[in-house]
């Protein structure tokens, strides 16, 4: 048997840090990343044969769990017909139609291969459609690693403590205005000063890259009003929350909370690919028709709308649109969060959690944080010890406190009970 340590040592010789995306490296929590050999349902197994209950789910896409039979079958069938053509296929239309049917206001989509591509392209589209350059993003929101968006972002940038990446020229980010999340006064001031220059405001409406933090309804209401008043587009980055917090994503959640609410541009990823490299951005017809070949905003991709990825995404969407899917997923996720809070209480550890649909977060704090600064001030040391306590007990959480967690339809009540039991032990160990 090859151990995780041996694989990590080998990986570090040929891959920077031994990983192909920094958040996998266990740098924040210390120790050796687990090299995953296979997954089935709610479980993954590492190179040493250790089984874990998986609450990362590939950082969100695996909403059905690993190896769902209907998805596997669809992918196998698609593979036999060919991997990639660089030409249009009927399945791309079907997936675009399926996405549009679930998100009112999103009338056309363009399929791409990653959330980074989708976020970057949505920004270019917003700039092209408005003829403006500046835009607002929020501290702790992560919209992929394109240069103008890599400023005070959450996820890996928060984990490793560098607010903005080296290699991103000042000139490129001078048009990026970064504001605190959920801060109406800062938003109003920014619009007062720059309103007529703003192409868009990009937001994770339910942020999953500074742990789990939701935009408050008053903040979202004011954001919509200001965008409308100043002609800036409101871009909902739903790479994490889309088709995950509800069938219609966070957009449908805010539509229920705020009468008449509608975003202008949408960014999707993760769940719509079911675990394959697939993402999308969309908007009204009039905005999307600015894209080449119809309009002057260029955007392209050799593997965009890949036939195997679209088969995987379509099969996944078909499962999650079945009646009762989100009710069951929501109930299971709520049970997990309530169980974690209960176990922490029993162990005398302050902990507060939140969830929406199949996405959740928890903090070693008394109150839910409303922005990145407060998340950064929560007890990192405690989280890191808890993370390892859970890993030892067979539960795989994201290896950084700046990440949300994900429950899949494959997680059973027994899995939740086992997780809560493990958490009780890990919480008690924190007090030792």
Binding site residues, ligand HOZ, CB under 6 A: 21, 23, 59, 142, 155-156, 209, 403
Write phi, then psi, for 352 (nearest 5 degrees). -135, 140
What angle is formed at CA 111 by the lines to CA 110 and CA 117, rounded to 5 degrees? 95
Tell me how far CA of residue 84 lies from CA of 100, 116, 309, in angstroms: 24, 21, 10
When the beta carbons of 23 and 179 are compared against ligand HOZ, the nearer one is 23
| Smallest distance, ligand HOZ to C-beta of residue 239, A | 8
| Smallest distance, ligand HOZ to C-beta of residue 118, A | 12
When the beta carbons of 130 and 159 are compared against ligand HOZ, the nearer one is 159
Exposed/middle/buried for residue 157 (C-beta within 10 Å: 0-12, 13-18, 19+): buried
When the beta carbons of 132 and 214 are compared against ligand HOZ, the nearer one is 214
Integer Cα distance of 411 and 268 in angstroms: 24
When the beta carbons of 209 and 334 are compared against ligand HOZ, the nearer one is 209
Catalytic site residue 322? Answer: no
Token representation of residue 290: 């600015």
Tell me how far CA of residue 361 lies from CA of 115, 132, 203, 208, in angstroms: 21, 36, 18, 8
Catalytic site residue 298? Answer: no
When the beta carbons of 148 and 339 are compared against ligand HOZ, the nearer one is 148
| Smallest distance, ligand HOZ to C-beta of residue 403, A | 5
Catalytic site residue 372? Answer: no
| Smallest distance, ligand HOZ to C-beta of residue 20, A | 8
When the beta carbons of 57 and 156 are compared against ligand HOZ, the nearer one is 156
Long-range contacts of 42-46 (CB under 8 A, 24+ apart): 42/66, 42/408, 42/410, 42/411, 42/412, 42/415, 44/396, 46/4
Catalytic-labelled residue, pool 46, 237, 264, 354: 237
| Smallest distance, ligand HOZ to C-beta of residue 137, A | 15
Catalytic-labelled residue, pool 142, 181, 254, 402: 142
SS3 300: coil
SS3 158: helix
Catalytic-labelled residue, pool 270, 354, 372, 415: 270
Q: 303-336 as b/e, with b when 16 or more CB fall inside 10 Å? A: bbbbbbbbbbbbbbbeebeeeebbeebbebbbbb
**Closest C-alpha among 66, 60, 34 to residue 333:** 60
| Smallest distance, ligand HOZ to C-beta of residue 132, A | 27
Integer Cα distance of 146 and 165 in angstroms: 10
The secondary structure of residue 138, as a DSSP letter, is: E
Count the Cβ atoms, other than its own, within 10 Å of residue 383: 22
Return the residue nearest ligand HOZ (CB atom): 21
**Closest C-alpha among 109, 37, 50, 56 to residue 272:** 109
| Smallest distance, ligand HOZ to C-beta of residue 388, A | 20
When the beta carbons of 23 and 235 are compared against ligand HOZ, the nearer one is 23
Catalytic residues: 142, 237, 270
């Amino acid at each position: 048997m090859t151990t995780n340590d041996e694989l990590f040592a080998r990986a570090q010789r040929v891959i920077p840090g031994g990983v192909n995306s920094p958040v996998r490296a266990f740098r924040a929590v210390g120790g050796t990343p687990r090299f995953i050999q296979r997954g089935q349902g709610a479980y993954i197994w590492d190179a040493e044969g250790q089984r874990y209950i998986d609450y990362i789910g590939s950082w969100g896409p695996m909403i059905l769990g690993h190896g769902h039979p209907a998805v596997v079958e669809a992918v196998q069938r698609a593979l036999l017909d060919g991997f990639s053509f660089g030409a249009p296929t009927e399945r791309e239309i079907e997936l675009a139609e399926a996405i549009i049917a679930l998100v009112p206001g999103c009338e056309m989509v363009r399929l791409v291969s990653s959330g980074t591509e989708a976020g970057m392209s949505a920004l270019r589209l917003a700039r092209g459609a408005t003829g403006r350059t500046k835009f607002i993003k929020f501290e702790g929101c992560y919209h992929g690693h394109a240069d103008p968006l890599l400023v005070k972002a959450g996820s890996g940038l928060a984990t490793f403590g560098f607010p903005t990446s080296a290699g991103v020229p000042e000139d490129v980010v001078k048009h990026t205005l970064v504001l605190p999340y959920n801060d109406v006064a800062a938003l109003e001031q920014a619009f007062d000063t720059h309103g007529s220059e703003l192409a868009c405001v990009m937001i994770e409406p339910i942020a999953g890259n500074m742990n789990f933090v939701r935009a408050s309804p008053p903040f979202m209401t004011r954001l919509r009003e200001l965008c409308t008043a100043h002609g800036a587009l409101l871009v909902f980055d739903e790479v994490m929350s889309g088709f995950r917090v509800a069938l219609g994503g966070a957009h449908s959640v805010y539509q229920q909370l705020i009468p008449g609410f509608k975003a202008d541009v949408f960014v999707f990823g993760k769940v719509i690919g079911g675990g394959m490299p697939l993402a999308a951005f969309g908007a009204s017809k009039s905005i999307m028709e600015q894209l080449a070949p119809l309009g002057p905003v260029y955007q392209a991709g050799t593997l965009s709308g890949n036939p195997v990825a679209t088969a995987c995404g379509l099969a996944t969407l078909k499962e999650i649109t079945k009646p009762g899917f989100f009710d069951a997923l929501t109930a299971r996720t709520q049970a997990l969060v309530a169980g974690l809070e209960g176990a922490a209480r029993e162990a005398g550890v302050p902990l507060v959690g939140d969830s929406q649909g199949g996405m959740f977060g928890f903090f070693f704090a008394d109150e839910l944080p409303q922005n990145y600064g407060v998340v950064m001030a929560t007890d990192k040391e405690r989280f890191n010890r808890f993370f390892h306590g859970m890993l030892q007990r067979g539960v795989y959480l994201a290896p950084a406190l700046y990440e949300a967690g994900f429950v899949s339809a494959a997680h059973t009540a027994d899995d939740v009970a086992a997780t809560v039991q493990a958490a009780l032990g890990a919480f008690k160990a924190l007090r030792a």
